[in-house]
Structure 1
Amino acid sequence: MNGVDPVALVVFLFFFLLVTVLGFLAARWRKVGELDNLDQWGLGGRSFGTFVAWFLIGGDIYTAYTFIAVPATLYAGSVTGFFAVPYTIILYPIIFIFLPRLWSVSHRRSYVTPADFVQGRFDSRALALVIAFTGILATLPYIALQLVGIQAVLDVMGLGGGEDAGWFRKDLPLFIAFALLAAYTYSSGLRAPALIAFVKDTLIYLVIIVAVIYLPTQLGGWSGIFDSAEKAFSSFNTDNADAIASGEATPKGLIPGMGVSQWAYASLSLGSALALFMYPHSVTAVLSTKNRNIIRRNAALLPAYSFLLGLLALLGIAAIAAGIQVKNPQLAIPQLFEQEFSPWFAGVAFAAIAIGAFVPAAIMSIAAANLWTRNVYKAFINPDATDAQEAKQSKLASLLVKFGALVFVLALPNEFAINLQLLGGIWILQTLPSIVVGLYTRWLHRYALLAGWAVGMIWGTFAAYNKPVVGKPDSHFGGSVGPLEVFGIEISENLIYFGVTALVLNLLVAVLGTFVCRALHVGAGTDETRPRDYLVDAGDPHVADVLDPIATPKR
């Protein structure tokens, strides 16, 4: 393996083996019974406190691809690159307001997935099915991008062998890593990523803090770093002025200009914040906590990760000042670590990024598996499934989800996986009316919600499909923002995140459809929840510490 630094490799393997051992040991950690039901395997017994939940939810939200992609966006000179920082700030008040209500009703009614709640609230198996389908669909490319992050690290370390290497050398390390991840997730369930999250976050904080202190001493201070970036971007814009004017290239910079760029920045921030806590893995992490106040405490404490993210984004600028030259911006940060750090600390940094993929990938696969089990398998295939059968089905589904994502990444160009993931936020936003609005009112009709979901999904998907890659007019899925237009009618030239426009259309159709359904006296079904269900906490009547996932609570 030419180009592999033995010191960096040994350090990397040490931490990789450490988290593997912890992953298997997690099956015995905080165990109160056998892992033969979804509450124990898929939700960690719903027993995590503030400390564990802080690491788990943070590890769930801040993925390996976050640590690769955010600084890579700044390295590439995207004027909207910093949008990830404000969107995580917007996210936490949303968590504080909405998710405690979802926690309460889920614990009171033994719901495991957001689709369980939709089924109980709106009495619609079809609506629950499309919510589950959307969650799985949006999660798969998200898992795949964790592999993209690991691949970037392996390539820089020399383990991937580069683009010209045979499949055995290039892909075998990735297969081994994910085979071990699949094994200990199958064995330990949600407890595995919860325990590994301690190692992941400790390493990430260590690496980022050292980097933002050490790198400026080597690159002329932060003023020198920003000067280098400004010169690089100005030179690019000058040399490519004609291409920029014709739309064949995008201008580079750090601050969004007035007008179209600011609209893109603002709508991406808002839309991403609304989308992130709708993902099944975010809900799974929240439902694993033992009382609703833990969610609120974490909403107050989690902004520490936003501080970390802001520091992380600066590394993309540092990579420019360090003279990093890579065609694929995703390689910029691993390459920066290899070039500027000593081999042993570079090994720590590589391990931090790789382990940062394992935690979210495990939670995502568990969340997708729970959706399959509760809202497809149990709802339509085996309604009489026992607790053990449900747990077994989720374990098997989690394996299929992981290796499906692995095959997806290996079989398709990384650019395709990245662009397809942009649809994830657009898709998952279309579940917001059923889940978030449903937490407060049942006024929207179940069939109107279905119609709104369909319109939002179709419009958002086609809008993203018709967006070409800059400089490739015949390509597709080239981005997630574009001029504000609806079905070919341009309303504004300002760039808007497609997910926000699709959500507005979704809500309009749902509201209008509700008026129509009520005018025609179409049945709205029966709500199995009660107003007090949305406010209960652990210890209240009929809310057990560890719930029977299929028992029907007394009313």
Structure 2
Amino acid sequence: MTHSGVNWTALTVFLIFFVLVTVMGFLASRWRKADNAQHLDEWGLGGRSFGTWVTWFLLGGDLYTAYTFVAVPALVYGAGAAGFFAVPYTIIAYPLVFLFLPRLWSVSRVHGYVTPADFVRGRYGSKPLSLVVALTGILATMPYIALQLVGIQAVLDVLGVGGSADSNWFVKDLPLFLAFAVLAAYTYSSGLRAPALIAFVKDTLVYLVIIVAVIYIPMRLGGYGAIFDSAAQKFSAPGSKGALITGPKAQWGYATLAFGSALALFMYPHSVTGVLASRSRNTVRRNMAIMPAYSLMLGLLALLGFMAIAAGVGKGVKGFNPQLSVPQLFENMFPDWFTGVAFAAIGIGALVPAAIMSIAAANLFTRNIYKEFLKPTATPADETKVAKLASLLVKVGALAFVLLMDKQFAINLQLLGGIWILQTFVSIVGGLFTRWFHRWALLAGWAVGMTYGTWKAYGVSSPATKHFGGSSAEIPGIGEIGYIGLTAFVLNVLVTVVLTVVLRAAKVADSVDETSPADYTAEAPARTEVADAPEAPEPVAAH
């Protein structure tokens, strides 16, 4: 049953943690204080100085977001087994990225690249290709930031301060504007150091809440057997659209969504930003080896969707929003004070990645649009100033996504971004291993993948929206339903390969590659290879 009125005890605890991390966000500018704060390496990459533990918390805070807490359990709550696609996709992702992220780190450190588009520009010598990679990154990041704001709104709705469905649009969406203001202020002030510092609090709260939830809630509900029985009963009921076990017709969709999402995960600008902020090549490798520890947490989080069913969350409530299932479960099951702790974990779990995402998108705009096309003579101080302003504009774009698009299944916001960002994979990852692909073929492949993916996603409807209602459609030639992003990616690769063969045969001139083979295995300068203690001050690497 939905809570009526304001839960003052939970709200008070929530606000205490919210204020704590906000203060930490502003004070972060003094943590590892930069020799030259007016440099994009400092504001946008934290001085490229984070050791293993800081990077682990930063990437964990970056990749495991409000999407994890709100959207995945909501999908499990509404659709059943299909929502567990997030577990295998994170398991698949890390062995894949272990192969190429150290190479990206090395070449970026040698040439001072701040964004993936910087690397594409240097590798292929193509301004148009670099531009489309940058624009795709910004476009894909906006709905991802929006998802974080939706997570905060879900928590405040359950707390009783989010406005009712009958409220006017300003009152109803006031929590989003408040979250925007707080996030914008400390991101502008402290850059990447803010989410890196706050991530310690976020991850500690997350693990605490999840460990308590997977032990305490089943005890109250009669054990996991009773929980799965309740879920089976719901999904076997007439008219149910979900399933406790993925059926034969859904297996293609499950597998392609998991694999496509794995390919896309580290194409996002915020993922690359966390990696490039690392101190050394070994730091990157160590983190890719230990990051799967978060996948265990993700599987436990997904189970919260089944627990919400067993607890009767939303039962008999007409038009119940599934994205409220986990916040409502916490309020129903936990004492009020611990509900506040749990809601703080979700809220901070939204603020940390949203900050990193806005910084990453701002870096793309500054380096690959502003400096490349608008002001080539921009100084490092100019770049930093523009990046700070751009980070504000990106958040405005994310707010537009939230206000104008369907939020019933918040996961669709992120999946739409995944369709787009996956189309940069060929240019970035392909370029890390070979120079064979022709720049014009890569541009054509990207255009085909983006056009097909957007067109197909636009045509997907759901009970709540006519367009962009999901990320699956029929795979041409196979006849099975699969992930649109992966189908678009396959078309992208085919067009790129065929056109490269044609252009090479026609001897169409290629551009200059500013990188060399040794750049891809280069280590950090010896003077930066010191202990990984987060307190140790690090010199700024040469840009």
* Length-normalised TM-score, structure 1: 0.92
Equivalent residue, structure 2, for 1:532: 518
Equivalent residue, structure 2, for 1:552: none
Equivalent residue, structure 1, for 2:245: 255
Equivalent residue, structure 1, for 2:534: none
| Residue deviations 1:16-52 (CA, integer Å, cap 9, x gap) | 0000110011001012323211100000000000000
- Report the CA distance shift for 1:420/1:305 in structure 2 as closer, same or farther (over 3 A): closer
Q: Offset at 1:252?
A: 1.6
* Secondary structure of the structure 2 residue equivalent to 1:99: helix
Equivalent residue, structure 2, for 1:553: none
Q: 5 Å matches for 1:170-189?
A: 170-189=172-191
Correspondence 1:505 to 2:491: yes
Q: 5 Å matches for 1:311-390?
A: 311-325=300-314, 327-390=320-383
Q: Offset at 1:251?
A: 3.2
Correspondence 1:457 to 2:447: no
Letter in 2 for 1:286: V
Equivalent residue, structure 2, for 1:123: 125
Counterpart CA distance in 2 for 1:80 and 1:55 is 28
Counterpart CA distance in 2 for 1:191 and 1:500 is 34
| Residue deviations 1:216-243 (CA, integer Å, cap 9, x gap) | 11101000111111111112xxx22xxx
Conservation of the 8 A alpha-carbon contact between 1:75 and 1:317: yes
Conservation of the 8 A alpha-carbon contact between 1:113 and 1:371: yes
Q: Offset at 1:303?
A: 1.1
| Residue deviations 1:108-135 (CA, integer Å, cap 9, x gap) | 0100000000000000000000000100
* Secondary structure of the structure 1 residue equivalent to 2:489: helix
Correspondence 1:398 to 2:395: no
Conservation of the 8 A alpha-carbon contact between 2:35 and 2:540: no
Conservation of the 8 A alpha-carbon contact between 2:149 and 2:179: no
* Secondary structure of the structure 2 residue equivalent to 1:493: coil
Counterpart CA distance in 2 for 1:87 and 1:5 is 37
| Residue deviations 1:310-352 (CA, integer Å, cap 9, x gap) | 1111110000000111511000000000111100000001111
Equivalent residue, structure 2, for 1:523: 509
| Residue deviations 1:513-550 (CA, integer Å, cap 9, x gap) | 1111112221110000000000001126999952344x
Conservation of the 8 A alpha-carbon contact between 1:159 and 1:169: no
Conservation of the 8 A alpha-carbon contact between 1:81 and 1:254: no
Which ranges in structure 2 are unaligned for 5 or more consecutive residues? Answer: 530-537
Q: 5 Å matches for 1:149-228?
A: 149-228=151-230
Letter in 2 for 1:414: K
Letter in 1 for 2:403: L
Equivalent residue, structure 2, for 1:75: 77
Question: Which has the larger displacement, 340-349 or 225-234?
Answer: 225-234
Letter in 2 for 1:134: T
* Secondary structure of the structure 2 residue equivalent to 1:482: strand
Conservation of the 8 A alpha-carbon contact between 1:159 and 1:170: no
Equivalent residue, structure 2, for 1:431: 424
* Length-normalised TM-score, structure 2: 0.94
Conservation of the 8 A alpha-carbon contact between 2:80 and 2:235: no
Letter in 2 for 1:313: A
* Secondary structure of the structure 2 residue equivalent to 1:496: strand
Conservation of the 8 A alpha-carbon contact between 2:45 and 2:276: yes
Question: Which has the larger displacement, 72-81 or 313-322?
Answer: 72-81
Letter in 1 for 2:296: F
Equivalent residue, structure 2, for 1:301: 290
Counterpart CA distance in 1 for 2:488 and 2:401 is 26
Conservation of the 8 A alpha-carbon contact between 2:323 and 2:410: no
Q: Paired residue for 2:482, among 496, 501, 512?
A: 496
- Report the CA distance shift for 1:257/1:168 in structure 2 as closer, same or farther (over 3 A): closer
Counterpart CA distance in 2 for 1:317 and 1:417 is 18
Query: How many residues are matched?
Result: 529
Conservation of the 8 A alpha-carbon contact between 2:457 and 2:467: yes
* Secondary structure of the structure 2 residue equivalent to 1:42: helix
Q: Offset at 1:173?
A: 3.4
Conservation of the 8 A alpha-carbon contact between 2:37 and 2:43: yes
Letter in 2 for 1:75: Y
Conservation of the 8 A alpha-carbon contact between 2:330 and 2:339: yes
Correspondence 1:276 to 2:270: no
Equivalent residue, structure 2, for 1:101: 103
* Secondary structure of the structure 2 residue equivalent to 1:43: helix
Q: Paired residue for 1:19, among 18, 21, 39?
A: 21
Question: Which has the larger displacement, 310-319 or 162-171?
Answer: 162-171
Conservation of the 8 A alpha-carbon contact between 1:46 and 1:545: no
| Residue deviations 1:69-117 (CA, integer Å, cap 9, x gap) | 1111111134311100000001111221110000000000100000000
Q: Paired residue for 1:442, among 435, 448, 460?
A: 435
Question: Which has the larger displacement, 58-67 or 532-541?
Answer: 532-541
Q: Paired residue for 1:37, among 29, 36, 39?
A: 39
* Secondary structure of the structure 2 residue equivalent to 1:425: helix
Conservation of the 8 A alpha-carbon contact between 1:38 and 1:387: yes
Conservation of the 8 A alpha-carbon contact between 2:183 and 2:355: yes
Counterpart CA distance in 1 for 2:153 and 2:104 is 36
Letter in 1 for 2:497: V
Q: Offset at 1:407?
A: 3.8
| Residue deviations 1:139-193 (CA, integer Å, cap 9, x gap) | 0111111111111101000010221123454333332232121111111000000
Which ranges in structure 1 are unaligned for 5 or more consecutive residues? Answer: 241-249, 486-490, 550-555
Residue identity over aligned pairs, in percent, reads 65
Correspondence 1:476 to 2:462: no
Counterpart CA distance in 2 for 1:481 and 1:98 is 28
